């Protein structure tokens, strides 16, 4: 069922133009369908703020349960913002105090750009901790993406992320480890996920934290894990929400950083993503760019349009399936909770009634 456009957030119109069903508030109020209220703590930097909205809104809106989805974006004031992003947030986002007062059924926490080796040194560390503490006490389930997974592992379990020798960047094969878990029991047993990070939480760290592993890559490591109760917290270490061109855009930004001297070496290709023909086009562009830089000539245009149409998305269907399963479980548990006080009669260590 559809997302509900409960405010004027431009993301709703962008998704509608892309073909997704968006329900206006007035129409939604006349339908006798359950509502689910999902928070989106968007910590991404300004350049990715609205794209991240669309990516997660799309995944939620494409899930299958019979419900109307009200997605409530909010952020942390401690994150640095430019004027345009601050205006967007002030206009369309909700303050955390209002989120906490109204309550949520589920919460998604995005990644973020950081500048310190220890996440506890980041200015958002304490306010993020407050959101996490509140969510674990008051929300049916919280889904963490990439940096949010690293932060929660450190904040709640004392497991600090490990620096990688090189950036883990590309699209990697993952295998389902526990096919009986309802998050993954009806998705492909082998599927792709994009990754883009300089740090990782290792399999051993996940296990030391008492978490249950659901999907892992031989190259990229653990992608999907859940809390010991199998549902309260969902951990993504990759980026299944990425659009088809997200890695292309990221590669372009790294090339532009090289061109203006912000990085020393020319960026490598994201692994397992560009086809051979597209690599050849990009290699030729690299030669022209480096020649222009050496000779002080005008820089050639990045061949984004030549590349974008030939790329393949090999991860979205599985991402949609896993998020749909997550939303379906939230729907089932909140249906029980609405009949009684929060979690009364439900085993908090095993809300799904799984054989642990």
Q: What are the domain boundaries of the chain?
A: 3-243+314-337, 246-308
Active site residue 271: no
Tell which wins on pLDDT, 341 or 148.
148
Which residue stretches of 139-266 are H helix? 147-157, 203-208, 246-259
Bridge partners (DSSP) of residue 4 are 23
Q: What is the pLDDT of residues 58-102, one digit of tens each?
A: 999 887 657 888 999 999 999 999 999 999 999 999 999 999 999
3-243+314-337: which CATH topology?
Rossmann fold (3.40.50)
Instruction: Please report which confidence band the pLDDT of residue 25 belongs to, taking 50, 70 and 90 as the band edges.
Output: low
How many beta carbons lie within 10 A of that of residue 98, not counting itself? Answer: 11
**Percentage of the chain surpassing pLDDT 70?**
88
Residue 238, phi then psi, degrees to nearest 5 = -95, -160
Q: What is the pLDDT of residues 216-239, one digit of tens each?
A: 999 999 999 999 998 999 999 999
Active site residue 146: yes
pLDDT of 67? 80
Quick check: 120 pLDDT over 50? yes
Quick check: 143 pLDDT over 80? yes
Choosing from 50, 241, 250, 278, which is the catalytic residue?
A: 241
Choosing from 72, 181, 239, 316, which is the catalytic residue?
A: 239
**Percentage of the chain surpassing pLDDT 90?**
78
Active site residue 35: no
Burial 120-154 (b: 16+ CB within 10 A, else e): eebebbeebeebbeebbeebbbbbbbbbbbbbbbb
Choosing from 144, 146, 200, 316, which is the catalytic residue?
A: 146
pLDDT of 339? 43
| Cα–Cα distance for residue pair 152/160, rounded to 1 Å | 10
| Cα–Cα distance for residue pair 111/124, rounded to 1 Å | 12
Instruction: Please report which confidence band the pLDDT of residue 334 belongs to, taking 50, 70 and 90 as the band edges.
Output: confident
């Amino acid at each position: 069922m559809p997302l509900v456009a409960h405010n004027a957030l431009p993301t709703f119109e962008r998704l509608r133009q892309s073909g997704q069903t968006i329900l206006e508030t007035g129409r939604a109020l006349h339908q006798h369908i359950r509502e689910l209220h999902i928070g989106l703590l968007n910590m991404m930097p300004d350049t990715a703020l609205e794209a991240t909205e669309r990516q997660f809104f799309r995944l939620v809106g494409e899930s299958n349960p019979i419900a109307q989805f009200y997605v409530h974006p909010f952020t942390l004031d401690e994150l640095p913002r430019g004027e345009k992003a601050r205006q967007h947030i002030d206009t369309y986002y909700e303050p955390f105090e209002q989120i906490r007062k109204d309550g949520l059924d589920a919460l998604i926490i995005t990644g973020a750009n950081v500048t310190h080796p220890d996440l506890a040194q980041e200015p958002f560390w304490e306010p993020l901790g407050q959101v996490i503490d509140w969510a674990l006490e008051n929300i049916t389930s919280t889904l963490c993406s990439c940096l949010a997974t690293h932060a929660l592992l450190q904040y709640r379990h004392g497991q600090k992320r490990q620096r990688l020798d090189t950036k883990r960047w590309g699209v990697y094969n993952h295998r389902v480890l526990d096919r009986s878990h309802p998050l993954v029991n009806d998705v492909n047993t082998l599927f792709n996920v994009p990754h883009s990070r300089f740090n990782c939480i290792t399999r051993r760290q996940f296990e030391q934290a008492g978490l249950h592993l659901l999907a892992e890559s031989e190259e990229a490591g653990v992608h999907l894990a859940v809390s010991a109760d199998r549902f309260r917290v969902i951990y993504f270490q990759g980026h299944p929400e990425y659009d088809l061109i997200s890695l292309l855009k990221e590669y372009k930004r790294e090339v532009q950083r090289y061109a203006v001297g912000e990085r020393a070496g020319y960026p490598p290709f994201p692994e397992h993503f560009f086809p051979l023909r597209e690599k050849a086009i990009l290699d030729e562009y690299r030669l022209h760019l480096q020649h222009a830089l050496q000779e002080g000539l005008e820089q050639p245009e990045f061949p984004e349009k030549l590349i974008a149409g030939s790329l393949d998305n090999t991860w979205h269907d599985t991402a949609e399936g896993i998020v749909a399963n997550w939303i379906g479980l939230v729907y089932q548990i909140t249906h029980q909770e609405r009949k009684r006080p929060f979690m009364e009669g439900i085993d908090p260590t095993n809300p799904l009634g799984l054989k642990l």
